[in-house]
Amino acid sequence: MTDTRSPAPLYHAAALAEPIPRSVCRRDGPRRVPVDCGDLPFVIKRDGTWLYRGSPIQRKELVCLFASVLKRGEDGSFLLETPAERGRIEVEDAPFVAVELDWTGDGRHQTLSFRTNVDQVVTAGPDHPVRVAHDLLTCEPTPYILIRQGIEARINRAVYYELVALAVPEWVGCRRMLGVWSRGRFFSLGELPPGEE
């Protein structure tokens, strides 16, 4: 049975018993250190579904709210962090999924914009590069786009096929690559076999 209740705040009972940390001084003024709540009962599945205590969060507005406070720790962990509290969550792959592609122009003057499952739109370019990882066993490609520091969206299969349809061959060093342009930058999708154009 699906739990439709709203998830509790980020803190848990143990955090309530801890003393509130003192403010720390920074050059731009005092800032309160968020209370560390440890591991939170959130999981982001590979398909972009957010689970709370094993049940999907049905309200998209709530998912978008949590997504807005998602950060990446220095150790690579994923955190939900507000000014008051923070805690680690589990992410199976990338926390977001790029579900839609929009493009204008062509060739070097092309601009590619992606919409994620939480309705954030990012445009591929120097600040939002596209990369392709390959499965070690199957060599199957999995493309990603950087959303913000340390946080990516996995580009879903349908959108990836659209990228492949827009791809053009280019020389990258001494290798002939197939890829796409966006905001003046070329993003490789894979190497072209010898003799193919």
43: which residues sit within 8 A by CB, 6+ positions away?
Answer: 50, 51, 54, 89, 90, 91, 92
CA 96 to CA 153: how far, in whole Å? 4
Contact 119, 61 (CB under 8 A): no
Whose CA is closest to 186, among 97, 110, 102? 110
Average pLDDT of every residue of the chain: 86
pLDDT, one tens digit per residue, over 109-150 is 999 999 999 999 999 999 999 999 988 888 889 999 999 999
For tokens 């990516």, the residue is 152
Query: Which two tokens mark 148?
Result: 């913000």
96-191 under CATH 2.30.270.10, yes or no? yes
3-state secondary structure of 189: strand
The rounded distance, in Å, linking the Cα atoms of 125 and 158 is: 21
**Which architecture does CATH list for 13-91?**
Roll (3.10)
Q: How far apart are CA 53 and CA 43, in angstroms?
A: 8
Whether residue 48 has pLDDT greater than 90: yes
Ranges of each domain in the chain: 13-91, 96-191
Q: What is the pLDDT of residues 53-71, one digit of tens each?
A: 999 999 999 999 999 999 9
pLDDT in tens, 151-161: 999 999 999 99
- Contact (CB, 8 A) for 101 and 110: no
